[in-house]
Amino acid sequence: MPTQSARAFYGTLVHTPEPTHLEVHHNTLIIVSPTGTIQSLQPSTTANTISSILASHNYTPETCPLTTLDRNEFLLPGFIDTHNHAPQWSQRGTGRGIDLLTWLEKITFPHEARCADTTHATRLFKNCVAGGLKQGITTACYYSSLHIEATTILAQTCLEQGQRALIGRCAMDRNAPSWYVDADPATAIAATETSIAQIQALDPSGELVRPVITPRFAISCSYTTLQRLGDLAASHRELPIQTHFNESRGEIAFTKELFPQYDTEAEMYESFGLLGPRTILAHAIYPTEWEIARLQARRCGIAHCPTPNTTMDEFMVAPIREYLRRGMKVGLGTDCGGGFSGSMLEVMRWAFMVSVAGKGGVRGEDVAGSGGVGSEVKAGEEISLVEGLWMATAGGAKVAGLGDKVGCFAEGMEFDAMVVRTARWEDEEEGVDGVMALVEEGDDMEAVVERFVMTGDDRNIRRVFVKGREVKSLN
């Protein structure tokens, strides 16, 4: 990363260190060290003491520039996208209303196969990463294509643009077109090992970019490939694991045909050593009671992706309330391009709306032999604004294995954040162009944050920082 100076911010900050608690700190001074770590966080600081506080940390206004937020602005932790397919960025919005397996065959695999062309991959990934940063996504868990070169290009792009990322080359040696599949298990594993080595060579300390062991899903991986990926996970205990889990009725039924010796997907993945605290499971819509208990016991992370879950050929409601009730790690994912939007604000809105539908009895029902939820796991109450924001920030950080680094504001944490600017009725000309509902006199910060989440867009996200480095500015 390029060298940078220390910086300081003074104003209001908002975060959700717990899923049930929105913390608001007014008149707060944050000092960010040259390495991007929060060196000091002092709420209720008076403006006339800032100089002396900076001096106590051996800073001057020249060595630690101060940004004073106005009353229309606040700091928010960066969003964390726990499930994103970078090669599918250009296909967003296509293929609505068809089943998952047909969507993969007709739309997704052809798009991903184009990443064999490194010129195409470079252009596509630059647009994808820039699009995420524009939306305030400071960390993304990416599935790349099966191409080693393209996966390395994605890692290089994240480093160049400053986005924190977990990046995995898809291992897939069956049930895909002949022109887009690993030739055999040996090829799949060798390519995965090469990809891991190349990403680690780009960022040896894992400061921003880390490789992820990525079996696309059980349908596309043979028994031998899953077994050897499990061996790889055992020998690389520092690496996360990500895969799709209980994503659709068709996927669950097909997986059962391919692995009849297992009663559930959780049992299958656990048998291969792929289920544990480093595991990120995308979707998790139809788990049985037994599976939820195993995911909880194994401390797995859940990437909830409400937009694709409701725009395929069925409206599917994952039991997020149950996951939260059990204290499990839950984050949000855009799932581009199964998800039609790259905006985490949009995902939070859909997460709320889907939970309301679930509360009203709309959910994916069990089908015979699917191992689904059925009537055993209730959708429960709708999620709150605070829970949605927690999943998009601190919850997502826990899912990505970064809970000790990012997701909220605290001394010693790394400064991944955004400056949000709103507009008020009494001085809307000083706000921003956009459609966010105007803030009214007397609104408390929870109301302001709710207006931002429910009606704001990327125009309200004025500045974005990753590890103290500014990666977006609209000022």
- The more confident residue out of 428 and 463 is 463
Q: Is residue 130 part of a domain?
A: yes
Of 400, 426, 458, the position where a domain reaches its end is 400
Same-domain pairing of 73 and 84 = no
Mean per-residue pLDDT, 418-436? 77
Q: Is residue 441 part of a domain?
A: yes
Residue 70, SS3 per DSSP: coil
Q: Which two tokens stand for residue 67?
A: 């940004």
Same-domain pairing of 18 and 126 = no
Same-domain pairing of 365 and 453 = no
Of 400, 418, 448, the position where a domain reaches its end is 400
Burial (Cβ within 10 Å: 0-12, 13-18, ≥19) of residue 207: middle
Same-domain pairing of 173 and 292 = yes
Of 400, 417, 439, the position where a domain reaches its end is 400
Same-domain pairing of 427 and 309 = no
Residues 132 and 346: their CA atoms lie apart, in Å, by 13
Q: Is residue 152 part of a domain?
A: yes
Q: Supply the mean pLDDT for the chain.
A: 92
Mean per-residue pLDDT, 346-350? 96
Cα–Cα distances (Å) from 44 to 25, 75, 158, 443, in that order, read 7, 15, 36, 20
Q: How many domains does the chain have?
A: 2
Return the minimum-mean-pLDDT range out of 16-30, 173-187, 195-209, 360-374: 360-374
For 287-324, the pLDDT digits (tens) are 999 999 999 999 999 999 999 888 877 788 899 999 99
**CB-based contacts of 142, cutoff 8 Å, min separation 6:** 84, 85, 86, 154, 158, 165, 166, 167, 168
Same-domain pairing of 179 and 32 = no
Cα–Cα distances (Å) from 176 to 113, 309, 473, in that order, read 11, 22, 42
Same-domain pairing of 118 and 244 = yes
Q: How many residues does the chain have?
A: 475
CATH code of 42's domain: 2.30.40.10
Same-domain pairing of 429 and 344 = no
| Single pTM value for the model | 0.94
For 38-95, the pLDDT digits (tens) are 999 999 999 999 999 999 999 998 999 999 999 999 999 999 999 999 999 988 888 7
Cβ atoms of 326 and 332 within 8 Å: the answer is no
Q: Is residue 349 part of a domain?
A: yes
Q: Is residue 1 part of a domain?
A: no
Q: Is residue 2 part of a domain?
A: no
Range of the domain at 414: 7-77+407-473
Same-domain pairing of 251 and 300 = yes
Q: What long-range pairs does 353-360 form, CB within 8 A, spacing at least 24?
A: 353/306, 354/306, 354/309, 354/310, 354/317, 354/318, 355/317, 355/320, 355/321, 355/379, 355/380, 355/381, 355/382, 355/383, 356/382, 357/315, 357/317, 358/317, 358/319, 358/321, 358/382
Q: Is residue 146 part of a domain?
A: yes
Residue 375 has pLDDT above 50, yes or no: no
Same-domain pairing of 58 and 85 = no
pLDDT, position 298: 97
Element (H, E) at 389: helix 385-392
CATH code of 102's domain: 3.20.20.140
Same-domain pairing of 180 and 204 = yes
Same-domain pairing of 290 and 279 = yes
Type of residue found at 164: R
The residue to which tokens 């970019």 are assigned: 209
Question: DSSP E strands: which ranges in 145-247?
Answer: 164-168, 209-211, 241-245
